[in-house]
Every structure is written in structure tokens, then in C-alpha cells.
Amino acid sequence: MESYKQEFIEFMVDCGVLKFGDFVTKSGRKTPFFVNTGFYRTGAQLRRLGQYYAKAIESKFGVDFDVLFGPAYKGIPLTVAATMAISELYGKDIKYCSNRKEVKDHGDKGILLGSPMADGDRVVIIEDVTTAGTSIQETLPIIKAQGEVKPLGLVVSVDRMERGQGTKSALKEIEEKYGLETTAIVTMAEVVEHLYNREYKGKVIIDDTLKAAIDAYYEQYGAESEQ
């Protein structure tokens, strides 16, 4: 596993973004782990988060694309942080763009924030996590309405590796339905691999009991192609 992935896993723990216990997801699934990206709350945290996203984007897509699009609202700081990091780490100036929830009819008019898109632009979409692919259904029509642009793919922070609307993972379903490439900074399998029975800051975060609960969760909800 690349060192930046290991660092990112520990970074999520430090920020309180990755938690273990008893939770219920929006879809009603009882889960022993939870990812809440709302806990990235400071400038220093966003700067580091942008760097991890930039490394994942470069690894999957390179930096030969034109626009990084972050759907409102959580995608707005993500796209800003990641484009700044791409400039800092790779010397490539990528345009950032997000949508408004409501169309603005005065001043800087329209549905977009940041850079407008032009015909021929290649677009990568950035999100926090995805479980059902609903956001992509809303995002792609907005992007395609801007002209002859080419959506290349989607990057998220964590691949939960659980079933989407069918038996495959949400990311795999997005790839097959929309023809997009997808990637994540880390997968939950990598999280477990890094933290299981390993002491971090004086504490074992994933012990045998928690590992058994995670395994049981994936027995029930794990994506078919990734079990």
C-alpha cells in the first residue's frame, strides 16, 4: 500500500472522520464504521485533504485534464483544495468548478461557481463518499449541459466496498452505467489492512472483535465483485 494511503487512513482517524462503533447509514444499514467528511474543519486539514485527493487523482487520471468539478455543497471545498494541491504538487493549473443549488439570476449569473466550462473540456468529478450513486445522476446532466465536454471519471475519499443499488459496488455501478472511471483515495479493505491489530497512538483501533463485526457486515452487505 502506498505511504500516502497509510497517512490518509491515520489522518481520517485523527480528524474524527473515520469512526468505529454502532451506526445506521442513510439507507438503514447497521454498520460498525462510519465516514463523516464534515469533520474536516480547519484550513490545515483541508490543505492535507486536498493533497491526498491530488495524489489519488494523479495516480488514476494523471493531470492531463481541464476541470475538476465538485457537486454542491460538500464538493465545493473539495474541488478548491484539490486543484490547489494539484498546482502545488504537479505544477498543473486545473480549473475548479461547482454548481449552485439554485440558479443565480444577477451578477455572476448561472448555475456554476468557479470556472465556466468550454467545449472540449475533460472533466473529473470529486466527491466525499458515494453509496448509491444518486449524486452522479444529478451531476452529469449539469456538466453535459455546459457544452461538448467529456466527463472522464469520479474520485471519492473512501470506497466503502458495499452493494449499491444491485449486487455490485456503487463505484462499479457508476462505471458500468455512465462509462466513467472511478477511484478512491483508499478502500475499506485498505483501512482494515492498515489498522487491524496494529497500535496507533497507543491504541489498537481495529481489534479482533471489531474485525469480526466488519467481516459480518460485509458478509451481509459487501459488493459481490469485491468480497
Three cell numbers, residue 159: 470506497
Q: Is 127 annotated as a binding residue?
A: yes
Q: Is 95 annotated as a binding residue?
A: no
Query: Are 36 and 128 within 8 A, CB to CB?
Result: no
Q: Is 89 exposed, middle or buried (0-12, 13-18, 19+ CB in 10 A)?
A: middle
Q: Is 74 annotated as a binding residue?
A: yes
Q: Is 133 annotated as a binding residue?
A: yes
Give, to the nearest 10 degrees, the angle between helix 75-90 and helix 43-61: 70
Which of 19, 104, 150, 211 is an active site residue?
A: 104
Q: Is 130 annotated as a binding residue?
A: yes
Catalytic residue status for 106 = yes
Q: Is 149 annotated as a binding residue?
A: no
Q: Is 132 annotated as a binding residue?
A: yes
Q: Is 131 annotated as a binding residue?
A: yes
How far is residue 97's CA from residue 216's CA, in Å, rounded to a whole number?
Answer: 40
Which of 106, 109, 201, 203 is an active site residue?
A: 106
Q: Is 19 annotated as a binding residue?
A: no
Catalytic residue status for 172 = no
Q: Is 128 annotated as a binding residue?
A: yes
Q: Is 26 annotated as a binding residue?
A: yes
Active-site residue set: 104, 106
Binding-site residue set for 5-phospho-alpha-D-ribose 1-diphosphate: 26, 73-74, 100-101, 104, 106, 127-135
Binding-site residue set for orotate: 131, 160
